Amino acid sequence: MEKLLYDEFKLVNKHHLNFEDQKTLSLLYLPLMGIDSYATYSILMSLDDNGNYTFKKILDLLNFRNIKVLDKALEKLQALGLLRAYYNKKRGFLYELIPPLSFEEFFNNELLVEYLKSQIGVVEVKDIIKAHDTKIVGFKNVTKKFNEVFETTTKTVKTSIDKIFKDNIVVHDSGFNYPLFKILFDDSVINQDALDDEEFKLRIQRIAYIYKLNEEEMKDVVVKTIDIDKNLEYASISKNARYVFQNKFKVDRPKLATTHDDDFISSLSDDETKQILNLVDNMSFTDLLASMSGIKPAASEIKIFEDLMNNTNLSMGAINMMILHVSREKEGVLPGYNYFEKIANTWARAKVENAYDALKYMQKNDAGKQKTQKPYYAKKKRVVPLPDWYDEYTKELDKVEVKEVASENKDDLIEIVKEMLG
């Protein structure tokens, strides 16, 4: 439903975010939804419960350029289970804020974890998990159970508070036919009671959606999990589904993208070049260096570029493009910090802010060099022309023809970026 600037909406907010919630939002949700949705969620969380507000007020607080930007930000929050939207023809919109999942709940959700890996890289996700590993080693758990201390006359003691924090990610009409999936089994493989379990059904549908697998393929995944892993744990099912996905689509893992054009995260409407540059903008130094060399980089190598980012205020995307540029110039050998700092200072003066700016700056630089070269030198050196897409991309970004990236494998995309650089 279309939102008008001065339309009012009611806000329901029964929760107050604690420190752990803020960490979860910053480390886990922000890469998935972009800064626009993150800022919108923060503003809404700061407003009073049961208050009435206009969309104009939110736009002014966020300094968004128009209501369409706000609308997309709200849609992403809904899709990620952080906001519920309701509409009444007479009374307008009502929004209910939902707190983020805990770290444990987030990493128990295959959909969110896979998309987080596609946004920030597997290494970064492993580091986050390691940093929040609270396992206690060397001690015996002697905590008293509830029934060891209290007695109750009821048969069960159950709280529903956890339901607020779970199953907020809804995939509607994914195209997966669960009844068909069920009849592909007989009782000798898996008990029908297990297939009728609502949590099992939800997990199977979610895993099938993530990895784009049909009913027959998911049946094979479950059978393989039972035969090889000797269990039916969701982590094992997800692992085997990923193997089938990699075989089927020849890419490492699924990628998160919004269905509509988005300035903050990848979109299905992005053309090939924009998708590649978005990858470079969001790729960690660890993943980039590993993709280039095929081995995990040393801590000292990563520190060079972390220090460079901190000392020069250049973005990670710009520095990633610098690494690729220098690697090409030096034939794979990366010099020390001082060399990169000189380039960084030059780029900072040229107002380079991201991977696209860096590419544009280098292409213009190459074009300038080409014009000033002497004829005899020009014959000896290969001239790097501006790519065909360059003018169209800078002038009519919103009108470009939508293309699919031939491969989403990061190593392949890094090679494409190298080709862009000449």
pLDDT per residue of the chain (422 residues) written in tens, 0 to 9: 678 888 899 999 888 888 889 999 999 999 999 999 999 999 999 998 888 999 999 999 999 888 889 999 999 999 999 999 999 888 899 999 999 999 889 988 888 988 898 888 888 888 888 887 766 667 787 787 655 665 443 333 333 333 333 455 666 556 789 999 998 888 778 888 889 888 898 889 888 888 888 999 999 999 999 888 888 888 889 889 989 988 888 777 776 666 666 666 666 555 556 667 777 777 788 888 888 877 888 888 888 988 888 888 888 888 988 998 888 888 888 888 999 999 999 998 888 888 888 888 887 776 666 555 544 444 444 444 555 544 554 444 344 333 333 334 455 555 656 555 55
Within a domain: 122: yes
In terms of domains, do 34 and 79 share one?
A: yes
In terms of domains, do 109 and 92 share one?
A: no
Alpha-carbon Rg for the chain, nearest whole angstrom, is 25
Residue 222 phi, psi (nearest 5): -65, -45
d(CA 320, CA 341): 13
The residue with tokens 């923060």 is 42
Q: What is the extent of the structural domain holding 332?
A: 272-420
In terms of domains, do 283 and 366 share one?
A: yes
* Residues in CB range of 82: below 8 A, 6 or more apart: 29, 41, 97, 98, 99, 100, 168
Q: How many domains does the chain have?
A: 3
In terms of domains, do 247 and 127 share one?
A: yes
In terms of domains, do 278 and 414 share one?
A: yes
Question: What number of other Cβ atoms are within 10 A of residue 292's Cβ?
Answer: 18
In terms of domains, do 260 and 285 share one?
A: no
Please state the pTM of the whole predicted model: 0.50
d(CA 96, CA 83): 6
In terms of domains, do 363 and 410 share one?
A: yes
